[in-house]
Structure 1
Amino acid sequence: MAKLRIATFNINGIRSRLPALLQWLAREAPDIVCLQELKAVDSAFPVEPLRDAGYGSIWQGQSAWNGVAILAKGEAPLESRRGLPGFEADTHSRYLEAVVSGMVVASVYLPNGNPQPGPKFDYKLAWFDHLIAHAAKLFKSGHPVVLAGDFNVVPTDEDIYNPRSWLKDALLQPESRERYQRLLAQGWTDAVRTHFGDERVYTFWDYFRRHWDTNSGLRIDHLLLSAELAPRLRDAGVDRWVRGEPHASDHAPTWVELEMVAGRRKRNG
């Protein structure tokens, strides 16, 4: 059985953090990577350095904020969708979907929603509703699917170091959490939580109040597996060392490892 590692990483600016991205790719060698918050227009995406590192890529950029990409080791992802159906008026680059290694892989960057209440929170909930509708169709398709990205939702109080100081934040609001649970209720497996059980695990540490130094983190980067893939989950983790590097993103790469049926995965090289 072949092993396949899928990672999600909110890079928080791909131009300034390209060396860190390349260092992580060289050290950890994930097979598929979903990136968020590129903060770069399409023409500024570093396609050549990534190709030199062994990764094919597709991307949807946006100036100064947002932006998503999918990387694949030794192959070019085959784009199947950009943007959510029924939400064509949305001008933000937040959803990119491709076929990679026989799977449908989506890079998701859900809106932050702050400050709330207000129009940004309303947009977050509307975007979430469209994601839920599209995810239902993907799940019912029977295809192997991974939804990976920064969902900007802390699912439960067990996914944050201390909820008290975040009670007004959009990431913890009942409306945000209810939508995440509604998404899981379709049948998706939250791979990181499934693997770690009751163990505390974080994927994001903001830049304030020494939160990284004191491990005061949140779990907001998720990888959701369809019914076909969930039984193949073998491992999961967070590459915390990346967050500890100088000038790091406030997120750390988060990953799952799947055991794939022989012949399902395209071989590299």
Structure 2
Amino acid sequence: MDIEIVASAGSKRLSEPFFLKKVLLEKSGDASDLTTIATSVHAVMLESGFMLLKNRGCFDKFTFSKELFTVSLMYTLPELITKTTVEYVTIRFQSLSNTVVVYGSLGGGRMVQRVSLNKYRFVSVIDLVVDTLKFEKQAFCSSYRNVFMLWKIVKDGISIPLSMALCEKYGLVGPACLMRLPTELKLKILEVVPGDGVAKMACVCREMRSLASDNDLWKQKCLEEAKHLVVNRSSISWKAEFATFWKQRQKARRALRSDMEIDRSMTSPGISAHLRKAYRMSRLREVLRKRQR
């Protein structure tokens, strides 16, 4: 099989929206939803360091027929190109009614990664990226965030796992990635992260959610950040206790900020002395009631 190497991303680092626009303009074909999604996934693969293997111009312009429900593309890493064989990964697209399912596998073997991309959510945003003026005007809204969400879904779910699998299989230096660290080191990182940061780390992936669910870890966070918390039960969900404490602390902080804003407004020159005196008396009675509790 004659295989032509199509160059991957250039050395100049572009932001995700502009790199996506660059690839969309280079690979312009039909305007079907499958083509739009596949071209965007292709952009993520190139930005991740992959190179497209093109078989006799089969997918030169990514012009996929609307009647074509499944499409496959092959990629490799530059370090794996040899004179005899080229090791590759396969990306397969399956077009459904309102989603495009993207599968990734090593070679032509079993599917090892899968993500689902909603057409209604992402196709209009991808089309908007091509029109720079419209996109810049709407950069503050959800359209801008959806571009990065698309990029994150494909990169975390497809390109990085496949790149790590190839590098591990052939002894190459893998991509810089938190998930490549040993489990013990990831636990150490969670131990020094604040409690709300641990909750955010749990949203990264299944492994981090599992590590961030450790009861002893949340007990440590309670002892560090909620020292006044007294729990007499032996079997307890420390994560739930920390969540309750954190919500109460956030509520107290919002109330404090509100009181400070009121205090500043009451000291403005436009407020009469009578109103300022009445406000101070009400604040004093409130403090006394809290002390009596």
Using structure 2 for the length normalisation, give the TM-score: 0.24
Q: Name the one with the larger strand percent.
A: 1
- The structure in which a higher percent of residues are helix is 2
- Asked which structure has the greater RCO (Cα within 8 Å, sep 6+), the reply is 1
**Greater C-alpha Rg:** 2
TM-score by length of 1: 0.26
